Structure 1
Amino acid sequence: MKVEAKLNPSKEEIIDLFSKGLSKEAIVTIFAHCKVSYNGRAKSELGPGDRVIIIKPDGSFLIHQKEKREPVNWQPPGSSPSLSAGEDKLILKSVRRKPKETLEVELIDVYLFSYFQAEDYETLALMGSEAEMADLIFENPELIEDGFKPLFKEKSIKHGIVDILGKDKNGNIVVLEFKRRRADLHAVSQLKRYVETIKEEYKNVRGILVAPSLTSGAKRLLEKEGLEFKKLTPPKKEKSKKGRQRTLFD
């Protein structure tokens, strides 16, 4: 099984699931009322409370409270988790060798104990910025349309900075405004302002909003103002692939 979980598990079930989770290089997740102590480069104590404990196959050990993004206590990859059972206590421990650090969790009451044998070997693909979208168009202007010629990047005008100012195949001035996420009404208003400013100097001016998608309100406003939309996904930047991540058992 890829997933196994127990609600309100007994001490024996906790020991069994912990052993299975580690042997299967799974992610172990525990919802528990617990106390936490840390001893290493400093010392800390965290009194009893309901927390989420996550132990990953690479040795990462995370303790989350019900608020905030960051764990309240944690150990990095390479740490060694263990579980010991006394007559009236269950103690989770994570030990880091260099520098010497120990994180100890007393499990007072366990509400849920589970493991998930996850398979995930993909690398994160980061979406590019609006500046990288503009660079992409300078290198590949045909992505906007055939005959498009970019002339200026980040062109300063009276009411702001135009991402790209160029010309189409008919000689019309083209204003491009880039958004790396779904474009909204504000983006259309921004493009409209730039187009109106450029029209003070040039007669025939087109405005094109370049983004992965539009809100319905933005689409209606574009049509009303006689502006255009070009769908373009920001370029991806992949982290270098180093193969499967090492685990405690490699």
Structure 2
Amino acid sequence: MRLVVARCQVDYAGRLSAHLPMATRVLMIKADGSVLVHSDGGSYKPLNWMSPPCKVTEGVTEDGQVEWLVTSRASGKGPADTLRILLEEIHSDSEHDLGIDPGLQKDGVEKHLQELLADHPASLGTGLTLVRREFPTPIGPVDLMCRDANGESVAVEIKRRGEIDGVEQLTRYLELLNRDPLLTAKGAVRGIFAAQEIKPQAKVLATDRGIQCVTVDYDALRGMDDPTERLF
């Protein structure tokens, strides 16, 4: 990522036109090809931007002023959008390699999901009752240990977003839990993979391994969304 703090003027031309008069701003050129213009206020949103893919051409105007011309790839429905940035004075210009971002992990949501499902295990399946939260195994705790109406043990792994890694994690737990004769007295320990959203690949893998997938409505569990009041 390249970060430039400069006194600049910005003009956008495309589906509409927009003008930012000369002022000190932060210019961001990201590795994905996007260009963003930020001020010191206005919350987190940029004042103007160009989404990737786009091209940045640096040059000099006839009167010797530094100019950036940012152009987008034409869509075929008209000319390419342009962002013209005139730089009067550059205060700072630096580049930083941020590496690959792992993405936002909303631990608070996942933890709260576990608490809500522990209070309402029947939302995962008719007749389910809670035995214990954070049920221990030699490789770490499974989120919920439940019992169904037949008295069989059910291990529940909870994620905010269900992906293949979560299915693999539950598979390892089930392999160890099924070695415990106390848990398997009524039959094999089965698994439930619960999440707000489950990726198609994770569903295929879970089904192949005999693991049930349950999509959880977080707002409904919190009592903020009553499905009976929906129009559709």
Give the alignment's TM-score, normalised by structure 2: 0.51
Looking at structure 2, the residues matched to 214 and 77 of structure 1 have their Cα atoms a distance apart, in angstroms, of 35
Amino acid at match of 2:109: S
Looking at structure 1, the residues matched to 150 and 167 of structure 2 have their Cα atoms a distance apart, in angstroms, of 24
- Relative to structure 1, the CA distance from residue 227 to residue 73 in structure 2 (aligned partners, 3 Å threshold; closer, same or farther) is closer
Q: CA deviation at 1:187?
A: 1.2
Q: Contact 1:132/1:234 (CA < 8 Å) preserved in 2?
A: no
Q: Contact 1:153/1:163 (CA < 8 Å) preserved in 2?
A: yes
**Equivalent residue number for residue 165 of structure 2:** 186
Tell me which of the two structures has the higher relative contact order, counting C-alpha pairs closer than 8 angstroms and 6 or more residues apart: 1
1:230 to 214, 224, 227: 214
**Equivalent residue number for residue 63 of structure 1:** 26
User: Does 1:7 pair with 2:46?
Assistant: no
**Equivalent residue number for residue 218 of structure 1:** 202
Q: CA deviation at 1:76?
A: 2.8
- Relative to structure 1, the CA distance from residue 29 to residue 157 in structure 2 (aligned partners, 3 Å threshold; closer, same or farther) is farther
Unaligned stretches of 5+ residues in structure 2: 1-10, 44-64, 70-81, 85-105, 223-232
2:122 to 125, 142, 147: 142
**Equivalent residue number for residue 132 of structure 2:** 152
Q: Contact 2:12/2:19 (CA < 8 Å) preserved in 1?
A: no
Give the paired residue count: 148
Task: Give the CA RMSD over aligned residues.
Answer: 3.9
Looking at structure 1, the residues matched to 168 and 68 of structure 2 have their Cα atoms a distance apart, in angstroms, of 56
Looking at structure 1, the residues matched to 151 and 166 of structure 2 have their Cα atoms a distance apart, in angstroms, of 25
- Relative to structure 1, the CA distance from residue 139 to residue 6 in structure 2 (aligned partners, 3 Å threshold; closer, same or farther) is same
Q: CA deviation at 1:220?
A: 2.1
Moved over 2 A (4+): 5-8, 62-65, 71-78, 106-113, 212-217, 233-237
Q: Contact 1:144/1:230 (CA < 8 Å) preserved in 2?
A: yes
Looking at structure 1, the residues matched to 26 and 173 of structure 2 have their Cα atoms a distance apart, in angstroms, of 50
Give the % identical residues: 23
User: Does 1:177 pair with 2:161?
Assistant: no
Amino acid at match of 2:13: L
Looking at structure 2, the residues matched to 6 and 72 of structure 1 have their Cα atoms a distance apart, in angstroms, of 11
**Equivalent residue number for residue 161 of structure 1:** 141
Looking at structure 2, the residues matched to 29 and 140 of structure 1 have their Cα atoms a distance apart, in angstroms, of 54
Looking at structure 2, the residues matched to 73 and 139 of structure 1 have their Cα atoms a distance apart, in angstroms, of 45
Looking at structure 1, the residues matched to 118 and 163 of structure 2 have their Cα atoms a distance apart, in angstroms, of 24
Looking at structure 2, the residues matched to 29 and 152 of structure 1 have their Cα atoms a distance apart, in angstroms, of 60
**Equivalent residue number for residue 200 of structure 1:** 179
Amino acid at match of 1:228: Q
Q: CA deviation at 1:151?
A: 1.7
Q: Contact 1:141/1:148 (CA < 8 Å) preserved in 2?
A: yes
